[in-house]
Structure 1
Amino acid sequence: MRYREFTDLVDDVLGRAQGRLLVDELVLDALGGRTAGAALADGTEPREVWHALCDALGLPDARRWGSDPHRQAPPRPGQR
């Protein structure tokens, strides 16, 4: 997953305004007590950040990949 795909998913799944707020403000234990934005700035893979954000928000797999039926769900970190 690339950064652009991450931001597209944030906008599609969480809504542009709310999603961007969550990326900038929600502190995630799975990312070492950083926000998603801080983790991305520190070089954490967007895929790992996306899964951490979705897990923290309790989003089921069916909602994680937005409205595009052709979007492939990237594997979780540590999976191939």
Structure 2
Amino acid sequence: MRHTVFRRRMIEEFGEIRADTLAQDFVLSSLDQRTPNQALEAGVEPKRVWLALCETFEVPPERR
């Protein structure tokens, strides 16, 4: 998954404002206590970040 696809899915699932807030401020224990943005900057694959968010927010499998 590319970063652009990750961002697009974030907006589609959570809305533009909430997606930005989640990416910047929401700390995920499954990403070593990092926010999505921090994880991406550290080199974590966007797909792994997306799946961590999906798990946390119980996104249905058909939208993952």
Per the shorter chain, which TM-score range? over 0.9
Which one has a bigger Cα radius of gyration?
1
TM superposition shift of 1:60:
1.5
What is the TM-score normalised by the length of structure 2? 0.93
- Consecutive unaligned residues of structure 2, counting only runs of 5 or more, are none
What is the TM-score normalised by the length of structure 1? 0.75
- Consecutive unaligned residues of structure 1, counting only runs of 5 or more, are 65-80
C-alpha RMSD of the superposition: 0.9
How many pairs were matched up? 64
TM superposition shift of 1:62:
2.5
Q: 1:16 is matched with which residue?
A: 16
Question: Which has a greater percent of helix?
Answer: 2
Runs (4+) off by over 2 Å: none
Percent identity reads: 36
